[in-house]
Structure 1
Amino acid sequence: MISHAEVLARAEAADDALPLLTIDEFFVGNTEEESIAPNQWDYDRPPLAEIEQRLRALAAEPGVAWVRLQLHDDTHEIDEITAEAIAICTDRDPDEIEEILDAESLHADGVIEGYAISEPGDEPPVPAGSRVLSLVWD
């Protein structure tokens, strides 16, 4: 998992806009269950490893250019990394993404157009015909 210091350094380089983290940057070595959608963890949200598997499967789907984790704005003030939304660059409809991820079982509020938190400092290229959607909690 990327370190908090590395996240802050990337944010500083992008005028304090928090970076979008790759699946590897967020999940590899991460065992902190409350690092993603912490308010849903005590309410039967699937474990971190299952969320990782679903996001990796989504990233491999046709029509999905990339999947990134959107960090909570509090990441600037607290000494931990917490994700509150998933950014998905795709040409697919929000309903399809919700179905692929089984958003209901994730205790997510659904998929919306655009970024859920704030504009990232390091958005990967968005291919023609694609747009950014976000799976959101809260």
Structure 2
Amino acid sequence: MREKLLEAVDLFEEVMIFGTEHVIKNMDIPIWKEYSPEQIQVLKILSTYGALSSGKLATIQGVHKSAVSNRLKKLEEKGLVTSERDENDQRAKIIRLTSEGIEVLQISNNAVYENIEKLFKDRIDEKELETFVKTFRKLKEILQMKEM
């Protein structure tokens, strides 16, 4: 089991690396000229988790708070996120997606999905895709339970 699990982790990491490289290199999306992959990731995180403190956002992205602070400043200037003081901790800011942020994220997501669909067409059958989805749903449940 250990060997298979190690292989699964390695494969997952490699798929993330190669997938990210493929998407960045092979997709010419105007919105990606305006926003960095890290900024799009901030929007994805906020879409997934809902409103978050900038500190929690930094933890999720695995970066220093100053890196997130710079990203948030640019996103807020462009109207994609808003920030407000946390009522429980006046030193912290709570970050939320705006409707414009949701729209930018949707444009980016649609472009990625279309690209992946073309890439996988005739290479992955319905049964393989269903197995993949089932496995990732289970992993998501396990990881979400760990958070609680």
TM range (shorter): under 0.3
The TM-score, its normalising length taken from structure 1, stands at 0.28
Greater RCO, 1 or 2 (C-alpha within 8 Å, sep 6+): 1
Greater helix share, structure number: 2
Flag the structure with higher strand content: 1
Question: Quick check: which has more Rg, 1 or 2?
Answer: 2
